[in-house]
Amino acid sequence: MSLTQIKNLNRRLDILEAEASNELDRACGNELWRNIGFEAFDRLKDTNRRAIANYYYGQLQTVRELQEVFG
């Protein structure tokens, strides 16, 4: 990959990370999940919100793994 491609990929990963974090804040109703992690979602009573939180947490973990590789 060229340097330009890596910079563009990192920029897109940053955008995805911000989106996932914002959606997790919205689904959980607070930012406590940042300290507790995945276990915070198990406490959500609304199954739809729990599913959304699980989806975006998976996205966030994928983005972080890719950032480690390309960062």
Return all residues near 44 (Cβ < 8 A) that are at least 6 apart: 27, 28, 50, 53
> Which single residue is written with the structure tokens 């406490």?
43
2, 3, 40, 55 from 36: Cα distances, Å: 37, 36, 6, 17
Whole-prediction pTM: 0.86
Question: What is d(CA 68, CA 19) in angstroms, rounded to the nearest whole number?
Answer: 18
Asked whether the predicted pLDDT for residue 70 surpasses 90, the reply is no
30 — pLDDT class (breaks 50, 70, 90): confident
